[in-house]
């Protein structure tokens, strides 16, 4: 059993899908991921992220902005939760909205974490640490 878990952990891809139409946010999140030796696969809007997800499911996690052109973060979560090959990937939402209802909507749609903007570097680091740590627990729960 220990061996199987070890192999699962080893085969877990060190790639994270990042979708945000804000270049500053994309760069911040990408830099944070690089620090943790993760590769960021970057999408500039929701549609681009959707297209990537149609052919690629090898992600340890996904980080989406709530408000993006074409497809919003919530749309992406709902799509991922409806696809067997994507439904185990933990998702974090980032949003400048302070509305508690939106946060609740994210969690009920299937987000594992929610990071409101503006955030400090510490808050970003903690959220990403939690998200990437969540990957293995989500897999176990699924």
Partner 1 sequence: MMSFDQVTNNENAGSNPHPLAPASASGITSDAVDLELLNAFEELQLDDGSDLIVELIDLYLQDVPQRVTEIREASIETEWVLLKRAAHNLKGSSGNLGVRQVAEICEKLERMDGHDSPQTVADLVRLLEYESAMANAALAAVRQRRLG
Site stretch for partner 1 (CB under 8 A), options 19-27, 51-59, 85-93, 105-113? 19-27
Nearer to partner 1, 83 or 121 (CB): 121
- Residue 10 CB, nearest approach to partner 1 (Å): 25
Bridge partner residues of 81 (DSSP): none
Site stretch for partner 1 (CB under 8 A), options 3-11, 53-61, 84-92, 122-130? 122-130
Q: Are 41 and 59 in contact (CB under 8 A)?
A: yes
Nearer to partner 1, 121 or 133 (CB): 121
Strand ranges (DSSP E) for 20-88?
Answer: 39-43, 61-65
* Sign of the four-CA dihedral 74, 78, 79, 85: positive
- Answer for which of 34, 51, 78, 129 binds partner 1 (CB under 8 A) is 34
Q: Which of residues 74-103 bind partner 1 (CB under 8 A)?
A: 96-97
Q: Residue 14 and residue 12: Cα distance in Å, rounded? A: 7
């Amino acid at each position: 059993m220990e061996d199987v878990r070890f192999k699962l952990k080893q085969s877990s891809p060190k790639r994270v899908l990042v979708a945000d139409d804000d270049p500053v946010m994309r760069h911040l999140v990408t830099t944070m991921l690089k620090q943790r030796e993760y590769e960021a696969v970057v999408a500039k809007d929701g549609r681009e992220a959707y297209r990537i997800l149609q052919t690629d499911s090898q992600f340890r996690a996904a980080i989406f902005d709530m408000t993006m052109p074409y497809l919003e973060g919530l749309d992406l979560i709902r799509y991922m939760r409806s696809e067997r090959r994507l439904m185990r990937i933990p998702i974090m939402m980032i949003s400048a909205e302070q509305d508690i209802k939106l946060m609740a909507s994210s969690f009920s749609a299937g987000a594992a974490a929610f990071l409101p903007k503006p955030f400090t570097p510490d808050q970003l680091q903690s959220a990403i640490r939690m998200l990437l740590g969540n990957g293995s627990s989500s897999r176990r729960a699924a």
